[in-house]
Structure 1
């Protein structure tokens, strides 16, 4: 039996769905019947619902016995949000939460809501992220937009996986100074260094191994040049009973050059350098045009290092990036400069001649970085990204853009600056402790929407963004790399609607301070959520605009 809450435990939607489902176990399917409401219209009257159609499968005419309703109302479980009432309605079985109590439980301490939910141990604590495009990026011009998309996704995955407690290692290091500078400008945090001399010895050893392997295997020598070694991968896989589920059926001869061996050497070194205290997964993050080649490298590694069979290799494939209405290829640098010029033009149109100087240059760079990352990440990673570089609504307020999120971060920062300025002038008192505030004054629909759909849900969003099917069959995995961007855009839109409608900083009258402080504490929670989510994208939130 779970202990009753003492009123200090964090509240979790996932716990609520599980507990409410278990309470109906035996009469309805647990946890699959209840769902959380999210639309502003439905949240006016309910927070959780079992639709009447689902109830009819277990109860005559869909009518739930009163004793079951009483049992639901009296539930007291750690993590369960405090309930106000449970009743039968035309829509079905409805639960409405004690909203002032939920506001108090959440807003008095935001710490639990700024990190993922406790994760279930999947046995893979060490993740090596291999951003495949970086192996062959000798200069920035060779780094295509599809490569940039893979790098941005890898950068984000490294952050969210680390938040869930994984040990994350990123390979390869960035070797090209041009690419390193571009990454720094865009806010991609990836290690930079040069290959160590010992790598050359490993490559020579690989060459000798392959020559002996071919000789002993009596493979046909179809090597086109002395610098290339031909390997029959399919023969190797069949000989060693390797499962090729998910691999391309055309995978056979691999003409291995020194650059291929160098990539494998880097991966092998990364595995050797990690602390092998638990199973290790190597996640290859690959653009779709390089997928076939990465599969060959996968098998080549297994061939040359048999112990690699103990390392799970998975492939996360990024769909193509297509530039619309363009007759010539667009490079990464050109893409960045174009978006930057558009951000500058939009800012000048809005703010006039004040858009100049060092601080504004930093603002424009931040807006550009946010715009690009949201463009490349808001689409599921397997799907194609379509870029319209002539799009007219790339502005600081386009509601689907990263720049719009940044704009709302700046609005919050400006509001708190105004509050602090008013405190220093004696208009407002100092902010009281969050636990002492009266949250019963938060009765606006938009206030509950921000708390229930975003602040309370943020740990689950972070957990979802780190979920991958690494233990499934086959080599491909899917990840929810788009959820944080979508969450940020949706939160920004609902915050903007609320901010435009509600006057948060009221008149400096004592009888209005209670509601103002409660609203400001809610806005602190919104701001902390925005900043934490942006941090997973390595985007610095704007403090002014």
Structure 2
């Protein structure tokens, strides 16, 4: 069975061929996968895609398309149409249920990951993980820094799902400062490369870079003194000149023009011009950072570098990009660099008097809110190490959903009021809702196994023996078709243009997995409250129970895999 993207591609190709055979002028073919109201088709082609035709022509077209799709292996049962859609395709649900659930059962945690093995290493350079003037006090980690760390963790998993090797660059002292925060949020540390900031002025990379034709040398007042100190292209530093306050600048405007690099919306900032790279007999922070990244790239033989930066630092990271590019090219190597830029973090207007200013403040606030909610539900039972560990895991999950559900370039506005989560009326409890529904399924499967051990139910048969035609409810088809079947497509689409040479901007949709898990949890909660899964152990009811259990096992696996991409370990019970 074809994957979702491939399936739509096959249908589009065959539909276009059929329209052309019938001499029907097509404006632009659009094959749309529906997400609800499946009684009028699973996949449709809107009537506005082509010139108006009479019913006889459209009927013949549908008959021809049906035969073509069947021959191409598309699991279709019938094709009809209505006033809005000239083609409405109904898929063979039983076939798709069996194939998809069988695939999820076989692949488990590998489901949704890329099949193509890429022998490429991507270096992630997060300006918040390189010291760059950041505080060494863990209590001073800002909310914007926290957003960048959580985004980087998610991006790491998304790139790995596309079969990239990923290394995260972190300055050694900064790493020690952040270690407790990473532990608090369950952030994996196995991909971090420790690299101390390098200020050795005699490093060959620095001396070679200062000889490039785009370097201008002047005194520390910015004057050329009638050309006495100002030279271009051969900026070597004689021993006698070390103490006379020379300043070296990189002419980025000239560099952009001569290299033919794109300037504007999809390229570099038009205001890039002279950039100071060496002053007071020492390299600047920008040059140090560029050399540091270059050393890692050379050591790991990496071909790609992704700069993760806030909007306020995006301009300076473009300077690092150009300096690094010149250093790499002078060593006859090449590197593809992209920029992932995220927006600032602010508080909602009604929370202007909140004292939450750091990542640690936010964790304490969310922990207190979740603990209060647990006490209201479970009473005095909420105490002890077990509950503390559960609440810490839920707190980390809630904050991750809160930070990652927003489109990355947008400003993230947090609700920092001290009201309980439900009372605030805001989406701060999405993470706990997803975790609850995931734990609910784990509890269901555990209960089923206990009943099997008590001989209440027979054991679950192999998936190949299950009759999925028993799943007749639209809610069941929606769970599979909208979430399980399309999960690999969603993961693939989160990483959009890391390899695109036409722009320096990386489009990585860090909000998509969170939004999918939130929507899936709402659909699952609605289904679970309406339909019984473990019913009476009567022979005629067992086929439906088995089919539903396998469907929910597939849903559960998708939730586990989605949470894993966020660095969240699901709970077995709540």
Offset at 1:489?
Answer: 0.4
The answer to whether structure 1 residue 184 and structure 2 residue 175 are counterparts is no
Find the counterpart in structure 2 of residue 332 from structure 1.
Answer: 359
The answer to whether structure 1 residue 452 and structure 2 residue 481 are counterparts is yes
Find the counterpart in structure 1 of residue 403 from structure 2.
Answer: 376
Whole-Å separation in 1 of the counterparts to 2:495 and 2:433:
25
Identify the match of residue 150 of structure 2 among 152, 162, 174: 152
Find the counterpart in structure 1 of residue 43 from structure 2.
Answer: 48
Offset at 1:430?
Answer: 0.9
Identify the match of residue 15 of structure 1 among 2, 6, 24: 6
Find the counterpart in structure 2 of residue 341 from structure 1.
Answer: 368
Offset at 1:74?
Answer: 2.6
Find the counterpart in structure 2 of residue 83 from structure 1.
Answer: 76
Q: Deviations over 1:286-322 (max 9, x none)?
A: 0111112212222222344434772122111000111
The answer to whether structure 1 residue 314 and structure 2 residue 305 are counterparts is no
Task: Note closer, same or farther for the CA distance 1:329–1:62 as it changes in structure 2 (3 Å cut).
Answer: farther
Indicate the structure (1 or 2) with the bigger Cα radius of gyration: 2
Q: Deviations over 1:28-52 (max 9, x none)?
A: 659942211102xx21331011122
DSSP-derived class of the 1:540 partner:
coil
Instruction: Please give the TM-score of this superposition, normalised by the length of structure 2.
Output: 0.83
Find the counterpart in structure 2 of residue 143 from structure 1.
Answer: 141
Whole-Å separation in 2 of the counterparts to 1:202 and 1:329:
42
Find the counterpart in structure 1 of residue 299 from structure 2.
Answer: 273
Whole-Å separation in 1 of the counterparts to 2:285 and 2:244:
14
Q: Deviations over 1:5-28 (max 9, x none)?
A: xxxxx4422222222222222246
Contact residue 251 and residue 274 of structure 2 kept, 8 A: yes
Whole-Å separation in 2 of the counterparts to 1:464 and 1:473:
18
Q: Deviations over 1:360-395 (max 9, x none)?
A: 222111211111111111111111100011174635
Whole-Å separation in 1 of the counterparts to 2:43 and 2:510:
27
Whole-Å separation in 2 of the counterparts to 1:350 and 1:234:
61
Identify the match of residue 296 of structure 1 among 316, 319, 323: 319
Offset at 1:60?
Answer: 1.9
Find the counterpart in structure 1 of residue 232 from structure 2.
Answer: none
Find the counterpart in structure 2 of residue 248 from structure 1.
Answer: 269
Find the counterpart in structure 2 of residue 98 from structure 1.
Answer: 92
Task: Note closer, same or farther for the CA distance 1:489–1:81 as it changes in structure 2 (3 Å cut).
Answer: farther
Task: Note closer, same or farther for the CA distance 1:95–1:263 as it changes in structure 2 (3 Å cut).
Answer: same
Offset at 1:334?
Answer: 1.0
Whole-Å separation in 1 of the counterparts to 2:374 and 2:314:
40
Q: Deviations over 1:236-292 (max 9, x none)?
A: 52685352513233333434455434422321122112236xxx2211010111112
Find the counterpart in structure 2 of residue 352 from structure 1.
Answer: 379
Find the counterpart in structure 2 of residue 6 from structure 1.
Answer: none
The answer to whether structure 1 residue 130 and structure 2 residue 118 are counterparts is no
The answer to whether structure 1 residue 69 and structure 2 residue 62 are counterparts is yes
Offset at 1:335?
Answer: 1.1
Find the counterpart in structure 2 of residue 511 from structure 1.
Answer: 540
Matches within 5 A, 1:478-517: 478-517=507-546
Q: Deviations over 1:114-152 (max 9, x none)?
A: 224656x9x993322111211014332453211221221
Give ranges in structure 1 of 5+ residues lacking alignment.
1-9
Moved more, 229-238 or 450-459: 229-238
Contact residue 127 and residue 168 of structure 1 kept, 8 A: yes
Moved more, 164-173 or 500-509: 164-173
Find the counterpart in structure 2 of residue 536 from structure 1.
Answer: 565
Offset at 1:329?
Answer: 6.5
Moved more, 26-35 or 366-375: 26-35
RMSD: 3.2
Find the counterpart in structure 2 of residue 4 from structure 1.
Answer: none
Q: Deviations over 1:471-502 (max 9, x none)?
A: 24342232211110111001010000000111
DSSP-derived class of the 1:334 partner:
helix
Matches within 5 A, 1:167-206: 167-172=165-170, 175=173, 176-190=175-189, 191-192=191-192, 194-195=194-195, 199=198, 201=200, 204-205=203-204
Moved more, 330-339 or 494-503: 330-339
Whole-Å separation in 1 of the counterparts to 2:245 and 2:416:
42
- Give the aligned length: 526
Whole-Å separation in 2 of the counterparts to 1:90 and 1:216:
67
